[in-house]
A and B are shown apart, each in its own frame.
Chain A
């Protein structure tokens, strides 16, 4: 059981926002990695958070997820959505949600440096002082045997807003 968290790197988006956050040169010395993101987006109401690994934008990330939004619940997957060139790892609120509130996303990737396909699990929730706000749980796999050395986080539309913060942790087995 993994039990030791080490902060590898952290970044906060500056004024003007950013289209993506890339963690590069991730060391392969841990057992698992974990990303914690506090964020919101600069446009729209509901935004999807996507992730690519090692800059791979091929259709190699089949995913599925469950969500609730305050009035309904549902599920979907990469086949229904019609794409798998990114791992859909969460929801974030956009510019129209309650000001100065940020959503949380947590992404866990065990055995990220191994030679098997990489499983990805994540959950997300965002704040909104209104009826609709999303909470979700996601599962995906990256169909690659390469060790993960970089990861990219981006919204499906618009930028990650100023003060959005992503932190990458390495986890070592005891």
Chain B
């Protein structure tokens, strides 16, 4: 079930708080924001996975464990 898309508006002059549905423009913007964030997260995840893979490959090539590598660099 999708979430209800509402905005809470606080009028600073009167103190009145109202809840209203998002406008079509706001909904469209919200969808664009979500898509951009998902793309960014996918990019970060892919980079993290590639880094981890490269690190593991290097350790294998050197024939040492991660703890031994830490010891070398300490």
- Supposing A19-B22, A21-B8 touch, asked if A158 and B13 sit within 8 A by C-beta, the answer is no
Q: A54 within 8 Å of B by Cβ?
A: no
- Supposing A11-B8, A18-B19, A19-B30 touch, asked if A159 and B3 sit within 8 A by C-beta, the answer is yes
Interface readout for A1-41 with B: 1 if CB under 8 Å, 0 if not?
A: 00000001111011011111111111100000000000000
Query: In the complex, what's the smallest C-beta–C-beta distance from A77 to chain B, in angstroms?
Result: 13
Inter-chain contact A19/B10, CB cutoff 8 Å? no
Q: B74 within 8 Å of A by Cβ?
A: no
- Supposing A19-B5, A19-B30, A42-B3 touch, asked if A157 and B12 sit within 8 A by C-beta, the answer is no
Cα–Cα, bound, A47→B3 (Å): 16
Query: In the complex, what's the smallest C-beta–C-beta distance from A38 to chain B, in angstroms?
Result: 15
Query: In the complex, what's the smallest C-beta–C-beta distance from A32 to chain B, in angstroms?
Result: 15
Inter-chain contact B7/A18, CB cutoff 8 Å? yes
Inter-chain contact A25/B14, CB cutoff 8 Å? yes
Inter-chain contact B15/A9, CB cutoff 8 Å? yes
Cβ–Cβ < 8 Å partners of B34 in chain A: 156-157
Inter-chain contact B3/A17, CB cutoff 8 Å? yes
Q: A143 within 8 Å of B by Cβ?
A: no
Cβ–Cβ < 8 Å partners of A43 in chain B: 3
Q: Closest chain B residue to A160 by CB distance?
A: B8
Cβ–Cβ < 8 Å partners of A19 in chain B: 3, 5-7, 22, 26, 30
Inter-chain contact A24/B25, CB cutoff 8 Å? no
Q: Which residues of B are in contact with A by a Cβ distance under 8 Å?
A: 3-15, 17, 19, 22, 25-26, 29-30, 33-34, 36-38, 40-41
28 contacts between A and B (CB under 8 A): A9-B10, A9-B12, A11-B8, A14-B19, A16-B4, A16-B6, A19-B5, A19-B7, A19-B26, A20-B8, A21-B10, A22-B7, A22-B10, A23-B10, A23-B12, A24-B10, A25-B11, A43-B3, A57-B25, A57-B29, A82-B36, A83-B36, A85-B29, A152-B7, A157-B33, A158-B3, A159-B3, A159-B4
9 tightest Cβ-Cβ pairs between the two chains A and B: A157-B34, A156-B37, A25-B13, A20-B7, A22-B9, A18-B8, A156-B33, A9-B12, A11-B10
